[in-house]
A and B are shown apart, each in its own frame.
Chain A
Amino acid sequence: MPKEPEISLTEKTFVLEALKQNLRVDGRDLQSFRDIQLTFGDDYGFVDVRLGKTRVLARISAEVTKPRPDRQFEGMFTITTEMGPMASPVFEIGRPTELDHTLSRLLEKSIRRSTALDVESLCIVTGKRVWSLRADVHFLSHDGNLTDTACIAVITALAHFRLPVVTVSGEDITIHSVTERVPVPLSLLHWPICVTFSFFGEDEGGDMVCAIDATAQEEALRMGDMTVTVNKNGEVCQISKSGGVAVEAEVLMRCARLAAGKVKVVDKLIAEALREDEVRRNKGNLDWLKEGKSENER
């Protein structure tokens, strides 16, 4: 089984000492994200998120299925995350690492349990037909902070996705293709966004050194971590800190407040990117209409 190369002692000391002086190897300060780049694909519900060298894809797909017998009014929503050797040779197919488990649980708690998506709106015919939505998360490149990146990717993809219009007549349902009826966006109740803090021990003043959006190198050196999921309304959807260095409650609260601030910025960034894509897409639609016309004439 391949292992992550160990970081040399010199490098380790350098990075940790620098962090204690509020400096990072890539020149950021401790409380800032790397540049978040969102790229959308040709179809709805596909997004490519980059944070520095970390790169994650998310794709939403929908199909019509039967609902679960105990949840007749609700559609289904699943998030699948599978890490492969593309992101890092450490990840093997079919042999999930601990990171795999924690990440999928975190996304589950952050997005599904916080009811970001109104699953009742996915119901077509009660007890007979519902939409089953799935979010596939693909990890392409791992340079730290996969959790936050994956969360941003899923939320953005959900906000970008459009569900085909369905008309019901009695027992029969008709799914209209994109060209027949304009598909509708999902009903998202809020956008929960994860912020992961990494703890690096105490500096000379006795304060805990904590940084957000750690790179893979920083992740390998950290002494503990905590993921806080907040939405822009300041509601904490999930907190998880398991083990690692023990931290004062006050520091944790400071982290939570900082996360709330960061999330507002990220939220705005996602909204902006979605709007830009919408504009681009509408332009494209006009071209497509023209093309469609010429085809009809022929």
Chain B
Amino acid sequence: MIHMRNVRKVYDTGVVALDGVNVDIKKGEFVFVVGASGAGKSTFIKMLFREELPTSGELLVNGHDVVNMERSEVPYLRRGLGVIFQDYRLLPDKTVFENVAFAMQVIEAPRRTMQRSVNAVLEVVGLRDKYRSFPSQLSGGEQQRVAIARAIVNSPAIVIADEPTGNLDPETSWDIMDIFHRINQAGTTIVMATHDKHIVDTMQRRVIAIEGGHIVRDEARGVYGYEA
């Protein structure tokens, strides 16, 4: 699903964000990416949906050669991915339903399936009854659930989440993790960058730890390993 060989990323400023990174993630895995701020975690995540391009090395995501692809192919890479951010990134002037449907609209999905698909994913995240609300009327946890619904509405093979619980209290965070767990159970690969020691230690999933641009640990059933 995801294949990295000797990936190196140097920013224009000369900062080496990642160096000599080798990772293979298989279909259906649930992977935590941990590390301190500035360790290269964000760069790692951003390269997966080609927000950043590796300076050198090999990177395959969901069958796409990210390094050598044409610009015009990037949208098709992203259609196979669902991306979730710490700050939700919902459109304030659209309702919950419209925010989720938007993801289908812009890839010109057929209208017939839109209603059904949006309702289905809102069911998954437990917001079926709030479909007419606007983001400002929702709690942080609810907003993140809308963002998750939007990320999965086009049935991506991989869900990529960058600190999805970073702005949420512990209890709400667990609701979000429960949704991720269910999505993963249905066969979707999940890659999640996080700072949350408690979540990582409790979930007991694969952990990739990044420090100073290198992978320092990659364990199948790992723990956070730092004092948060």
Task: Say if A and B assemble together.
Answer: no
Binding site for B on A (CB under 8 A): none
Binding site for A on B (CB under 8 A): none
